[in-house]
Amino acid sequence: MGLTSIKLELLVGLLAVVGLVASVWWIWPRLSARTWPAVAGRLVVLVGNQMLTLATLGLVLNNYFGFYGTWEDLLGTGGGQTSAPIVADPAAPGAQAPALRPAGGVQVIGTTHVPLASGGRSDAGGRLQEVVISGATSRLSSPAFVYLPPQYFEERYANTRFPVIVALTGYPGDARNLVTRMNMPFVAAKAIAGNEMAPSIMVLMRPTVAPPRDTECVDVPRGPQAETYFTKDLKDAMASGFRVGTDAASWGILGASTGGYCALKISMRHPEAYSAAVSLSGYLRPPIDATTGDLFGGSRRLMRENDMMWRLIHLPHPPISVLLTSSQKGESNYKMTLDFLAAVRPPMRASSLILPSGGHNFNTWSREVPQALPWLARQLRTPAQDVPIEPAPSPSS
């Protein structure tokens, strides 16, 4: 039986009930003696009942939230992306750490190297900077990681401004998960080295810029201006600290779960800021619950405008490219994803990546990123006034 099978859920639940009844009515009286075998037997019965109860709860919660779609997802045997470890910059014994200074709205905390393979050159894949990015307009700031491809440091690219991909976690999220769980810097480095995508800068962060509140990337009336942070402040801060393109054609955004909704919403509402987006297991309208509070200040207009399906039906379609992912088995957004794709009309363009199975988890997204990331990079361009980006040489050459 499949992991998400109702039959499995009912069977394990029935075994838990039968085990509890049998323990109280039949087994426990026969283990009431004060002997070591009887005590050991009672311990086994208690542990067995607890395991059955926990298994039932686990199956119910997994089916409700869609964490794992198959046994392969649960056991980690579904073909997830492997990666080389990201290592810190070596420092000479006794040497002091270099002074770190802000670059515009970007405060650099530290730097690591991104290798292309285990045992290879530690910096062959570029560098990863841990930063804090502050917004002048929204007054918000957020921790992030900035991935810089190896070409960024080469002399032939000294006058080149690079395309930018913003990658978002789910809620509440931790930007570190994009590095340690989804291996995005390594995936990007490998794709660039293999000429699958042009050298691009990545900004890895979470959508939670006013923790602990889940703003759903909305400019909340009389509250956190999260949408302004991602559409204006983030771009201004990156442009002041790095050689990046500044127009929408050079910027794309990708996210998973809540980050997927944010990526789709931000690009649809602000095509002047982002020209392409990837939504990994994203939804189409924000939830309203204890973590979000009142996102729209009671405004039905604002609520509708943040519903992506409503926008497709009632508003002109923006000139952007989007990629939506889902799974036929294990994802709750499968049908709404198909409905959204069917409703897209020019000048908007939509593509899809549909897996046969996969839950709402890092294993599924790690399987999708090696295809989704190069797709997104291909939608972007290097600013025409700068030196064109040349294809990176392959490792074999």
pLDDT of residue 63: 62
pLDDT of residue 388: 44
pLDDT of residue 128: 97
Report how far residue 198's alpha carbon sits from residue 149's, in angstroms, rounded to the nearest whole number.
Answer: 10
pLDDT of residue 120: 57
Residue 2, C-beta contacts closer than 8 angstroms, at least 6 positions apart: 8, 70, 71, 329
Q: What is the pLDDT along the chain (397 residues), one digit of tens a residue?
A: 777 678 888 888 898 898 888 888 888 787 778 788 888 888 888 888 888 888 888 878 766 544 455 666 566 555 444 444 444 443 333 333 333 344 458 999 999 999 887 555 666 899 999 999 999 999 999 999 999 999 999 999 999 999 999 999 999 888 999 999 899 999 999 999 999 999 999 999 999 999 999 999 999 999 999 999 999 999 999 999 999 999 999 999 999 999 999 999 999 999 999 999 999 999 999 999 999 999 999 999 999 999 999 999 999 999 999 999 999 998 999 999 999 999 999 999 999 999 999 989 889 999 999 999 999 999 998 775 444 444 433 333 2
Calculate the alpha carbon distances from 361 to 150, 165, 281 in Å: 30, 21, 9
pLDDT of residue 122: 63
Report how far residue 295's alpha carbon sits from residue 224's, in angstroms, rounded to the nearest whole number.
Answer: 10
- The amino acid present at 298, given as its one-letter code, is G
| pTM score of the predicted model | 0.78
pLDDT of residue 75: 64
- Strand locations in 92-150, DSSP E? 102-103, 106-113, 127-134, 141-148
pLDDT of residue 396: 31
Architecture of domain 100-379: 3-Layer(aba) Sandwich (3.40)
Q: Are 55 and 88 in contact (CB under 8 A)?
A: no
Q: Locate all alpha helices (DSSP H) within the chain, ordered by sequence.
A: 6-22, 28-30, 36-65, 71-75, 175-180, 184-193, 226-228, 234-241, 258-269, 300-305, 308-314, 334-343, 362-379
Residue 126 has φ and ψ, to the nearest 5°, of: 110, -160
